[in-house]
Each structure stands twice: as C-alpha cells, then as structure tokens.
C-alpha cells in the first residue's frame, strides 16, 4: 500500500519503520527533517500525502493537526484515508474529520496506547473513531503497527475513549501511590500491601502491572529510577484534554480534576517533568517529612 506518514517523532518514527518493514511504500515528512530506515523522505507534508492511499499523522496537539490537515487534505486523492494517530482534543479531531469528509476522504481518529515501547514492538492499541469503510481499509495497517484496534464509533470517539481511559489511569495511579505512602506510615510492609491489594478489591492495572513501588510486583519504571514508560508530562496532557472535554460536554469529573491538579503541581512546580507518571510515590513519601 502507498502510505504517507507525517510526524516522525518518538512514536511516529518506529510506526513508520514497521510499515516499511512490512512491505508498504512509505513516504515520510517531519519538520525536524529526521530520516527513518525504509521510509522515503518528502520535502513537505503535502508531498508525502500526494497519491497515498492512506496518510498517517502522529502530531503533538490539535492546533498542529489542524494546520497539517489544511495542507494535506487538498493534496489527497478522493477515497484515500486520513488516519490521525495523534492524541488531541475531541473538537479538533471532529473538525479535521469533517474537513476530510467534505473533500471525499475517509477520516479516522485513532489515538494509541502502549507508548514508545509499543510503537517499536508493533504492539500498540488503537482506539478508532470514524467511518466503518475507512476502518476496514486501514485494518491491515493497524495489524502491522499494533496488537489491537477497536472501532469506537463516529469521528472523535477514538479520542474520547483514549482520554476516558487515561483519566481512570491517572486517578488510579495517584491513589495507589497515596496508599503506599499511607501504608509506610502505618508500618505495613510494601510487599504485604501488594500481596493483599493485588488479589483484593483494590486491585488495578496501576497496582498489579505497573506497581509504583520499586522491588514489588512485576518490573516497572519504579525499578529503573522512574525513567518513563509513560511520562508524567504526557499524563498531564491527557488529563487536561479530559477536563477540556468534560467542560465542553458538561460532565462532572471531580476525581479527574483532582488528578489533573496533582499532576500539574508534580510536573510544573515539583520534580515530575521527564519522570514516569508513577513517580508520584516518592512525592507522597516526602510529604510530612519536613
């Protein structure tokens, strides 16, 4: 398949490389001018998109997505698929999809879960909004870049699924870290705490799979000095998107809002920038110690 790929950063580069390795003809563009093995470089986003059956975008935010869409939609052939894998606000996703549909394109918003490791290994999960025909056309690409793709409904629903999932994840990680810090102060051994909670009603992905306490449970970023698997900065971005969506939809999300405020303080006023989002645990350990 002839594919254009725009945005060859930490996530986009390995995704594009996997598509090329699978035998697709991939033309790529990034403002930083990076080169990716097997990917033919283009001089502009429009050049990467021209003649492609599917154009994949992996961009930092909704404003940049809107700018790129304005450039590539006129260059794309009717019937082509505009597959956006960025994590952006729901309104931008829906606006860009509408622009693409008006030009005779299929539009999919397909944010991912799995981080850079998942992008490199081709084990991402895609949460996809948009038309069913576009989803079917892109399915073989999802199979190369990821392990699972879920069609969540019309345009914007992929972003909605991503931010709802990550709002749960952010709030759950905060309370897991709080609970470990409380257990410490109550004299409860961390291994005993893990053994109880991981098999009881308090269990969660944050506890069982990604435990924020070093040396407890399966290996996680906590065992590597909180070098990010998923950076706190990115969790803050996703929580802000969730709160933006909640405000637009008039949804009541007090726990999500509390998690956002804590990650805001952690990333912007404390030492959380560039650390894993589970590094909240040392933050809570320090509280009450002077």
CB-based contact 208:197 (threshold 8 Å): no
List 2, 137, 148, 162, catalytic entry: 162
> Pairing mode, if any, of strands 2-6 and 25-29?
parallel
CB-based contact 280:259 (threshold 8 Å): no
User: Bridge-partner residues for 231, per DSSP?
Assistant: 276
**Is 2 one of the annotated active-site residues of the chain?**
no
- 117 φ, ψ to 5°? -60, -40
| Tokens coding 225 | 């000095």
Q: What SS3 class is residue 272? A: coil
Contacts of 91 (CB under 8 A, 6+ apart): 62, 156, 248
Distance CA 19, CA 5 (A): 10
Active site residues: 162
């Amino acid at each position: 398949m002839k594919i254009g790929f725009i945005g060859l950063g930490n996530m986009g580069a390995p995704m594009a490389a996997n598509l090329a390795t699978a035998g697709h003809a991939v033309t790529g563009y990034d403002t930083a001018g990076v080169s990716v093995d097997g990917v033919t470089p283009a001089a502009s986003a429009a050049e990467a998109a021209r003649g492609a059956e599917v154009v994949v975008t992996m961009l930092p935010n909704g404003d940049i997505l809107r700018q790129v869409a304005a450039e590539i939609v006129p260059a794309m052939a009717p019937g082509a698929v505009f597959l956006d894998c960025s994590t952006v606000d729901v309104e931008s996703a829906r606006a860009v999809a509408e622009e693409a549909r008006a030009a005779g394109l299929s539009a999919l918003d397909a944010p991912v879960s799995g981080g850079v490791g998942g992008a490199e290994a081709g084990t991402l999960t895609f949460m996809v909004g948009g038309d069913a025909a576009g989803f079917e056309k892109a399915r073989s690409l999802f199979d190369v870049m990821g392990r699972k793709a879920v069609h969540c409904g019309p345009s914007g629903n992929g972003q909605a699924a991503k931010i709802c999932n990550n709002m749960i994840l952010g709030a759950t990680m905060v309370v897991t870290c709080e609970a470990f810090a409380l257990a410490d102060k109550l004299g409860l051994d961390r291994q005993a705490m893990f053994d109880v909670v991981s098999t009881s009603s308090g269990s969660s992905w944050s506890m069982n799979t990604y435990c924020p306490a070093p040396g407890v449970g399966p290996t996680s970023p906590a065992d590597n000095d909180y070098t990010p698997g998923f950076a706190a900065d990115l969790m803050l971005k996703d929580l802000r998107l969730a709160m933006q969506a909640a405000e637009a939809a008039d949804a009541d999300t007090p726990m999500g809002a509390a998690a956002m405020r804590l990650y805001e303080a952690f990333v912007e006023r404390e030492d959380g920038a560039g650390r894993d989002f589970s590094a909240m645990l040392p933050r809570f350990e320090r509280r009450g110690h002077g």
